[in-house]
């Protein structure tokens, strides 16, 4: 029930703007303007502060199409993102289902909390912690050597699998949480109704539960896919030299090479691609609804 | 023979499972119960996966070996070294300071904006609400680099002030959403009643609305603190090499080579973060009644 | 359609007995109501017949086949839930077709039968609609259609009319009877509303605290309740306690209340009289037939309700209620002494 707190001083719009104004001015200054400026930058040939001549050019964007390296890295990043998203979704769903529909009471609250808690600790530190587990001499190594008669030296650190493991570990709680919220909204009586009509477990899963949980799962997928595509910290820490992705290249432009215009252009190309994929995904899910 | 249909906290009569016949002669375990047991085990394994590296890291932080090697010898050496490490300590305090300011600013601005959405319907409201999502959805890599470019362009440059600007912008959407969710459970009639008793706008806010939504505000504030304290990417781009935040400092230390003090500080960070979220959950009932 | 037999069924949940040795028979093709307050076990019994809950002891037979160990998927029942439980991700036709598609019925056959049943519930034009676009009454019909399209042996309804508003409820009562007659499936529904139970069912079973208190046709239950609970739960009743003697019951003020020849005497300690069966006369009124029972009381207050007036009277420290049909006479003023009288045939002996 909405009501307009119309006051002697002004129309609702004015009052609302006074209240919400500061927050949005901040967002404008710190997010939207910077993005616009960066867009402008991406068309520059050189950083203006260096005193050199600069002009508007498409060169930065063209580099993306000229240099096969960037395209390869983009594909590699998208591939990594897709893998991590898929693994998280598949691993997370059964977990969410058990929590939403099978486990009840205090245990459920406790387990749910346990799954969500790591999510709220520092991402950097959690990635770093895999170091202990994956390196040669680390936990995996140690356990395997104690179980296996042969000496095994697994050095999973600084490899592609390590990056995947670390990213899945970081984003798994997202998948569980979003799937859980969707599943929880499915009334038990719906499942009972399906059973009363003779449906077995698999049928109920396929025709009732998955379709109804899909919005949540998609949200979780998006929340995972987008950040991972731009990841640079995780690949660097866990992948070392094997950890080159579009995110690391963009980072380099800003931190090492100082070719900000190129970095900006690459960023926006990445953003455009991600938005295109999201858009396509939304279209697909809309069409399924019909 | 069981009187109530549960195994632990698994309801065998749960609509999804119940297939268990209840005669003493037949077996207790039906397909449903077996599936539930497997599911339970799966959840435990997932939780184990989530906590494995964290626990290992905590263990290693108290392990004597400087090369993270087992077997385990207890020591507090690394924590002591940490207490003497000026750089890390300074970075930690900086992080806390920034986080506190971020919390203060984003909570005030965020609550104001939430109240605006709650009380008023106005042209452009939908648009503004939708504008909360880009900052959350765009990869931090892109937002961080955009901020870097913009702040340089307008002369602010890097440094703690820039970091604060960035952190507040990142935290705002979360605060607005969390407080907004809480406001949805707050009945607008209460404000109307207060007005009919003669209270002015400010009095209403201070004495009626805010106390009622206090848990939501506190949750939002804690969210903001967590977002700021754990923030790596944006801080990374916006820091001055001399004065960085804790996560950025840790990152440099890791890139340079190991010192087990990193384990110590990391363990502390994780314990503090998770502990904080534990408090939030008590105030904001996750899992069950959301 | 099939006969459903519940034989000495009990169910315990921790400390409480949800069902205590309940036996009841639902004949083929009949429409049965299970009536009772919340916690009476009526819903538990319904869900037990459905197969969501298994009895601790006792049998449930459908068509003389023991089914109490069968899970709900294999019992071939149809059920309408209190909140209708329609699948939001499917439209009306798909919802109704669900049970048929699960049984791998041929597509064209499904289409035909879905169309048939939607026509039966008068929703033929809505088969493509999405669930969230339907009104409450429409949803209920879809739920009903979905439950009966598979031609189940038994149809179970959980508080079918409670979610509808008053005017809709009356219409649906008529509809429900019509449809049930048409498909002739043995139907059992659960309700806490006595009016619903009376108007809708062939026979009613009253449950209380897990026990079946009484079972019979609406008329039987109303005219001859066996217990004080049944008498007051189904309709209004004035309860007088006393001691049985030859010829009647001696009540608190010493009067002997006579009962008719149809009453079965079995050590009852109370008797009941329906408020509409009592006649009220002022002290100076006409004579009362000598065979009638007589009590003297004082008017405490009255409520004029158009069609009739309800009088509340003080008698031996108790409150009695009488409904007097509006015949144009003046209202008897508060405080007057009046004589209550009724025929012995209207006295009901209750436990």
* pLDDT tens track for C242-252: 888 887 888 88
Q: Which tens digit of pLDDT belongs to each residue from B69-97? A: 666 777 777 778 777 878 888 888 899 99
Q: Which residue of C has its CA nearest to B12?
A: C53
Tell me whether residue C303 is in a domain: yes
Nearest to B105 by CA among B150, B157, B166: B166
Tell me whether residue A192 is in a domain: yes
Q: What is the CATH number of the domain that holds C116?
A: 3.40.50.300
Tell me whether residue A56 is in a domain: no
Burial grade of A82 (CB within 10 A; 0-12, 13-18, 19 or more): middle
**What's the longest Cα–Cα distance across chain C?**
80
pLDDT band at A120 (very low <50, low <70, confident <90, very high): confident
Q: What is the CATH number of the domain that holds C249?
A: 2.40.50.100
Q: Which residue of A has its CA nearest to C98?
A: A197
Partners of C211 in beta bridges: C208
Structure tokens at A4: 């307009």
In this structure, the answer to whether residues C173 and C318 fall within a common structural domain is no
C-alpha–C-alpha distance, residues A181 and B290, integer Å:
9
Q: Do C98 and A199 touch (CB under 8 A)?
A: yes
Residue B3 has pLDDT above 60, yes or no: no
Burial grade of A21 (CB within 10 A; 0-12, 13-18, 19 or more): middle
Q: Do B16 and A101 touch (CB under 8 A)?
A: yes
**Touching check for C70 and chain A: CB below 8 Å?**
no
In this structure, the answer to whether residues C195 and C100 fall within a common structural domain is yes
Amino acid A47: pLDDT: 67
Q: Which tens digit of pLDDT belongs to each residue from B131-159? A: 887 777 788 899 999 999 888 888 888 88
In this structure, the answer to whether residues C316 and C261 fall within a common structural domain is yes
Question: Which domain does A270 fall in, by range?
Answer: 67-289
- Higher per-residue pLDDT: B18 or B167: B167
Query: A185, A187, A192, A197: best mutation site toward chain C, by most C Cβ within 10 Å?
Result: A197
pLDDT above 90: percentage of residues in chain C: 52
Question: Which residues in C lie closer than 8 A to residue A195 (C-beta atoms)?
Answer: 52, 71-73
3-state secondary structure of B71: coil
Residue written as token pair 């929880």: A184
Mean pLDDT of A213-217: 89
Q: Do B22 and C56 touch (CB under 8 A)?
A: yes
Burial grade of C166 (CB within 10 A; 0-12, 13-18, 19 or more): exposed
C-alpha–C-alpha distance, residues B110 and A23, integer Å:
6
Q: Which residue of A has its CA nearest to C156?
A: A196
Which of B3, B4, B18 faces C52 most closely, judged by CB atoms? Answer: B18
The chains in contact with chain B, meaning 3 or more Cβ pairs closer than 8 Å, are: A, C
Q: Do B4 and C54 touch (CB under 8 A)?
A: no
A249-263, B23-37, B252-266, C160-174: least confident range? B23-37
Query: A13, A102, A166: best mutation site toward chain B, by most B Cβ within 10 Å?
Result: A102
Tell me whether residue C231 is in a domain: no
Q: Do A199 and C73 touch (CB under 8 A)?
A: yes
Which of A196, A203, A212 faces C72 most closely, judged by CB atoms? Answer: A196
Provide the domain count of chain C: 2
Amino acid B258: pLDDT: 64
Q: What are phi and psi of B175, to 5 degrees?
A: -60, -45
Residue C265's Cβ-side half-sphere holds a number of Cα atoms within 13 Å equal to 11
Whether the link from the prior residue into B254 is cis, omega within 30° of 0, is no
Tell me whether residue A28 is in a domain: no
Amino acid A51: pLDDT: 54
Question: Which residues in B lie closer than 8 A to residue C53 (C-beta atoms)?
Answer: 13, 18
pLDDT band at A50 (very low <50, low <70, confident <90, very high): low
- CB within 8 A of C302, min separation 6: which ones? C309, C310, C311, C312, C331, C332, C334
State the smallest CA–CA distance between residue C68 and chain B in angstroms: 9
**What's the longest Cα–Cα distance across chain B?**
82
State the smallest CA–CA distance between residue C16 and chain A in angstroms: 20
Mean pLDDT score of chain C: 90
Burial C329-349 (b: 16+ CB within 10 A, else e): eeebeeeeebbbbbbbbbbbb
Mean pLDDT of A91-120: 88
C-alpha–C-alpha distance, residues B194 and B206, integer Å:
11
Torsion, CA A234, CA A238, CA A241, CA A247, rounded to 10: -10
Number of Cβ pairs closer than 8 Å across A and B? 303
Residue B36 has pLDDT above 60, yes or no: yes
The chains in contact with chain C, meaning 3 or more Cβ pairs closer than 8 Å, are: A, B
Nearest to C68 by CA among C79, C82, C80, C57: C57
Q: Which of C160, C188, C223 is the last residue of a domain?
A: C223
Q: What are phi and psi of A169, to 5 degrees?
A: -60, -40
Residue written as token pair 């012995």: C344
Mean pLDDT of C69-83: 92
Q: Work out whether strand B6-7 and strand B10-11 pair parallel, antiparallel, or are unpaired.
A: antiparallel
Partners of C312 in beta bridges: C301, C321
- Higher per-residue pLDDT: C322 or B7: C322
Mean pLDDT of C199-221: 92
Question: Which residues in A lie closer than 8 A to residue B176 (C-beta atoms)?
Answer: 23
Tell me whether residue A60 is in a domain: no
Provide the domain count of chain A: 1
Question: Which domain does C273 fall in, by range?
Answer: 236-350
Q: Do B172 and A26 touch (CB under 8 A)?
A: yes
- Do B208 and B191 contact (CB within 8 A), yes or no? yes
C-alpha–C-alpha distance, residues C333 and B102, integer Å:
76
Partners of C190 in beta bridges: C34, C158
Q: Which residue of C has its CA nearest to A200?
A: C73
Residue B18 has pLDDT above 50, yes or no: no
3-state secondary structure of B63: strand
A185-199, B239-253, C209-223: least confident range? B239-253
- Do B123 and B277 contact (CB within 8 A), yes or no? no
C-alpha–C-alpha distance, residues C275 and C228, integer Å:
15
Mean pLDDT score of chain B: 79
Which of C52, C78, C102 faces A199 most closely, judged by CB atoms? Answer: C102
Amino acid C134: pLDDT: 92
State the Rg of chain B over Cα. Answer: 25
- Do C337 and C346 contact (CB within 8 A), yes or no? no
Angle at C104 between CA C99 and CA C109, to 5 degrees: 80
Q: What are phi and psi of B241, to 5 degrees?
A: -50, -35
Q: Do A95 and B42 touch (CB under 8 A)?
A: yes
- CB within 8 A of B254, min separation 6: which ones? A128, A237, B262
State the smallest CA–CA distance between residue C250 and chain B in angstroms: 47
Question: Which residues in C lie closer than 8 A to residue B15 (C-beta atoms)?
Answer: 52
Enumerate chain A positions whose Cβ falls within 8 A of a Cβ in C: 187, 189-190, 192-200, 203, 207-208, 211-212
In this prediction the ipTM stands at: 0.82
State the smallest CA–CA distance between residue C88 and chain B in angstroms: 18
Helix H, strand E, coil C: the string for chain C is: CCCEEEEEEEEEECCEEEEEEEEEEECCCCEEEEECCCCCCHHHHHHHHHCCCCCCEEEEEECCEECCCCCHHHCCEEEECCCCCCCCCCEHHHHHHHHHHHCCCCHHHHHHHHHHHHHHCCCHHHCCCEHHHCCHHHHHHHHHHHHHCCCCCEEEEECCCCCCCHHHHHHHHHHHHHHHHHHCCEEEEEECCHHHHHHHCCEEEEEECCEEEEEEEHHHHHHCCCCHHHHHHCCCCEEEEEEEECCEEEECCCCEECCCCCCCCCCCCEEEECHHHCEEEECCCCCCCCCCEEEEEEEEEEEECCCEEEEEEEECCEEEEEEEECCCCCCCCCCCEEEEEECHHHCEEEC
Residues 99 through 128 of chain C touching chain A, CB cutoff 8 Å: 99, 102-103
Query: C46, C85, C114: best mutation site toward chain A, by most A Cβ within 10 Å?
Result: C85
**Touching check for C328 and chain B: CB below 8 Å?**
no
What count of other Cβ atoms lies within 10 Å of the Cβ of residue C324?
18
**CA C296 and chain centroid, separation:** 34
> Sheet of C308-315: strands edge to edge?
C279-282, C337-342, C293-304, C308-315, C318-325
C-alpha–C-alpha distance, residues A190 and A179, integer Å:
18
Residue B113's Cβ-side half-sphere holds a number of Cα atoms within 13 Å equal to 28
Q: Do C52 and B22 touch (CB under 8 A)?
A: no
In this structure, the answer to whether residues C172 and C277 fall within a common structural domain is no
Q: What is the CATH number of the domain that holds A118?
A: 1.10.3720.10
In this structure, the answer to whether residues C293 and C187 fall within a common structural domain is no
In this structure, the answer to whether residues C14 and C158 fall within a common structural domain is yes
Question: Which residues in A lie closer than 8 A to residue B137 (C-beta atoms)?
Answer: 222, 226
In this structure, the answer to whether residues C175 and C309 fall within a common structural domain is no
- Residue C7's alpha-carbon distances to A74, C51, C74, in angstroms, are 70, 15, 20
State the smallest CA–CA distance between residue B186 and chain C in angstroms: 26
Mean pLDDT of A165-173: 92
**CA A136 and chain centroid, separation:** 29
In this structure, the answer to whether residues C314 and C178 fall within a common structural domain is no
State the smallest CA–CA distance between residue A289 and chain B in angstroms: 23
Structure tokens at C283: 């002290």
In this structure, the answer to whether residues C65 and C212 fall within a common structural domain is yes
Number of Cβ pairs closer than 8 Å across B and C? 20
In this structure, the answer to whether residues C76 and C153 fall within a common structural domain is yes
A122-131, A180-189, A208-217, B4-13: least confident range? B4-13
Q: Do A199 and C81 touch (CB under 8 A)?
A: no
Q: Which tens digit of pLDDT belongs to each residue from A149-164? A: 666 666 677 888 889 9
- CB within 8 A of C156, min separation 6: which ones? C46, C49, C50, C77, C78, C79, C80, C187, C188, C189
Residue C57 has pLDDT above 70, yes or no: yes
Which of C76, C85, C102 faces A192 most closely, judged by CB atoms? Answer: C85
Question: Which residues in A lie closer than 8 A to residue B112 (C-beta atoms)?
Answer: 19-20, 22-23
Question: Which residues in A lie closer than 8 A to residue C87 (C-beta atoms)?
Answer: 190, 193-194, 208
Amino acid C257: pLDDT: 86
Query: A122, A156, A189, A236: best mutation site toward chain B, by most B Cβ within 10 Å?
Result: A122
In terms of average pLDDT, the best of A15-24, A255-264, C67-76 is C67-76
Q: Which tens digit of pLDDT belongs to each residue from C129-155? A: 899 899 988 999 999 999 999 999 999
State the smallest CA–CA distance between residue B33 and chain C in angstroms: 14
For chain B, strand residue ranges (E) read 6-7, 10-11
Q: At what angle do helices A160-184 and A68-97 cross, to 10 degrees?
A: 40
Burial C82-112 (b: 16+ CB within 10 A, else e): bebbbbebbbbbbbbbbbbebeebeeeebee
Residue B1 has pLDDT above 70, yes or no: no
Amino acid C170: pLDDT: 85
Amino acid A48: pLDDT: 63
Q: Do A129 and B135 touch (CB under 8 A)?
A: no
B120 DSSP assignment: -
C-alpha–C-alpha distance, residues B94 and B82, integer Å:
16
B31-45, B196-210, C305-319: least confident range? B196-210
pLDDT band at A206 (very low <50, low <70, confident <90, very high): very high
- CATH code assigned to B80-284: 1.10.3720.10
- Higher per-residue pLDDT: A77 or B267: A77
Report the first-to-last Cα separation within chain C, whole angstroms: 37
Q: What are phi and psi of C127, to 5 degrees?
A: -65, -20
Structure tokens at B269: 């960070």
Nearest to C176 by CA among A119, B179, C185, A148: C185
Query: A8, A14, A18, A27: best mutation site toward chain B, by most B Cβ within 10 Å?
Result: A27
Query: C67, C94, C100, C102: best mutation site toward chain A, by most A Cβ within 10 Å?
Result: C102
């Amino acid at each position: 029930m909405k009501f307009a707190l119309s006051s002697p001083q002004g129309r609702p719009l004015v009052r609302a703007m006074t209240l919400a104004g500061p927050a949005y001015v901040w967002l404008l200054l710190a997010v939207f303007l910077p993005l616009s400026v960066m867009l402008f930058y991406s068309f520059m040939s050189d950083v203006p502060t260096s005193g050199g001549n600069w002009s508007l050019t498409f060169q930065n964007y063209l580099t993306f199409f000229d240099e096969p390296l960037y395209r390869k890295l983009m594909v590699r990043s998208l591939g990594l993102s897709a893998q991590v998203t898929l693994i998280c979704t598949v691993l997370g769903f059964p977990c969410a289902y058990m929590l939403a529909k099978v486990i009840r009471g205090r245990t459920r609250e406790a387990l749910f909390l346990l799954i969500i808690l790591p999510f709220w600790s520092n991402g950097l530190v959690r990635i770093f912690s895999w170091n202990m587990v994956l390196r040669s001499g680390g936990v995996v190594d140690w356990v395997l050597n104690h179980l296996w008669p042969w000496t095994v030296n697994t050095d999973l650190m600084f490899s592609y699998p390590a990056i995947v493991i670390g990213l899945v570990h970081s984003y798994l709680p997202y998948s569980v949480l979003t799937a859980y919220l969707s599943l929880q909204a499915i009334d038990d009586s719906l499942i009972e109704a399906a059973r009363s009509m003779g449906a077995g477990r698999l049928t109920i899963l396929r025709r009732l539960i998955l379709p109804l949980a899909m919005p949540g799962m998609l949200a979780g997928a998006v929340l995972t896919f987008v950040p991972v595509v731009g990841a640079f910290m995780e690949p660097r820490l866990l992948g070392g030299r094997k950890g080159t992705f579009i995110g690391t290249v963009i980072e380099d432009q800003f931190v090492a090479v100082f070719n900000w215009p190129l970095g900006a252009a690459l960023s926006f190309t990445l953003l455009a691609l991600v938005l295109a994929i999201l858009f396509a995904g939304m279209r697909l899910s809309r069409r399924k609804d019909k | 023979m069981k009187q109530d249909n549960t195994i632990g906290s698994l309801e065998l009569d749960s609509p999804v499972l119940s297939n268990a016949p209840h005669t003493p002669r037949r077996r207790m375990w039906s397909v449903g119960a077996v599936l539930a047991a497997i599911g339970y085990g799966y959840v435990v394994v997932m939780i184990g996966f989530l906590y494995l590296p964290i626990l290992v890291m905590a263990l290693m932080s108290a392990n004597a070996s400087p090369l993270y090697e087992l077997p385990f010898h207890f020591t507090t050496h690394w924590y002591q070294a940490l207490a003497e490490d000026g750089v890390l300590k300074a970075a930690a305090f900086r992080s806390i300071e920034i986080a506190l300011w971020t919390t203060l600013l984003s909570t005030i601005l965020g609550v104001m904006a939430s109240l605006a959405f709650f009380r008023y319907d106005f042209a452009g409201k939908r648009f503004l609400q939708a504008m909360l999502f880009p900052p959350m959805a765009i990869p931090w890599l892109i937002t961080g680099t955009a901020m870097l470019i913009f702040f340089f362009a307008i002369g602010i440059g890097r440094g703690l002030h820039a970091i604060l600007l960035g952190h507040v912008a990142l935290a705002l959407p979360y605060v607005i959403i969390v407080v907004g969710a809480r406001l949805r459970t707050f009945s607008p009639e209460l404000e109307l009643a207060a007005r009919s008793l003669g209270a002015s706008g400010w009095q209403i806010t201070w004495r009626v609305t805010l106390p009622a939504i206090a848990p939501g505000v506190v949750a939002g504030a804690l969210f903001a603190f967590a977002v700021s304290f754990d923030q790596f990417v944006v801080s990374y781009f916006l820091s001055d090499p001399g004065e960085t935040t804790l996560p950025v400092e840790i990152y440099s230390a890791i890139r340079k080579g190991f010192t087990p003090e990193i384990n110590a500080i990391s363990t502390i960070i994780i314990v503090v973060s998770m502990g904080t979220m534990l408090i939030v959950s008590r105030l904001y009932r996750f899992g069950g009644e959301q | 359609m099939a006969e459903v037999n519940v034989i000495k069924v009990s169910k315990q949940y921790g400390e409480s007995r949800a069902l205590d040795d309940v036996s009841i028979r639902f004949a083929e093709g009949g429409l049965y109501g299970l009536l009772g307050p919340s916690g009476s076990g009526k819903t538990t019994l319904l869900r037990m017949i459905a197969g969501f809950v298994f009895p601790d002891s006792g049998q449930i037979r459908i068509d003389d086949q023991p089914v109490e160990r069968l899970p709900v998927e294999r019992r071939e029942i149809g059920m309408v839930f209190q909140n209708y439980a329609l699948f939001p991700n499917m439209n009306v036709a798909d919802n109704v077709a669900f049970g048929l598609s699960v049984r791998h019925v041929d597509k064209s056959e499904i289409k035909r039968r879905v169309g048939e049943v939607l026509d039966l519930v008068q929703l033929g034009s809505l088969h493509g609609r999405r669930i969230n676009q339907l009104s409450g009454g429409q949803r209920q019909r879809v739920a009903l259609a979905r439950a009966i399209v598979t031609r189940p042996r038994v149809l179970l309804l959980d508080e079918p009319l409670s979610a509808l508003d008053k005017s809709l409820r009356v219409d649906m009562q008529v509809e429900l009877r019509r449809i049930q007659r048409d498909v002739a499936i043995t139907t059992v529904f659960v309700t806490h509303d006595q009016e619903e139970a009376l108007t809708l069912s062939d026979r009613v079973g009253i449950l209380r605290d897990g026990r079946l208190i009484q079972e019979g046709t609406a008329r039987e239950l109303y005219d001859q309740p066996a217990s004080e609970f049944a008498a007051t739960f189904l309709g209004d009743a004035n309860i007088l306690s006393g001691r049985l003697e030859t010829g009647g019951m001696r009540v608190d003020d010493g009067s002997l209340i006579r009962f008719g020849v149809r009453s079965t005497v079995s050590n009852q300690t109370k008797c009941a009289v329906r408020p509409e069966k009592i006649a009220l006369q002022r002290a100076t009124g006409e004579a009362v037939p000598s065979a009638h029972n007589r009590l003297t009381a004082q008017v405490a207050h009255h409520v004029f309700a158009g069609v009739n007036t309800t009088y509340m009277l003080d008698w031996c420290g108790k409150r009695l209620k009488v409904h007097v049909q509006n015949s144009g006479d003046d209202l008897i003023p508060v405080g007057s002494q009046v004589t209550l009288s009724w025929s012995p045939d209207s006295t009901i002996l209750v436990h």
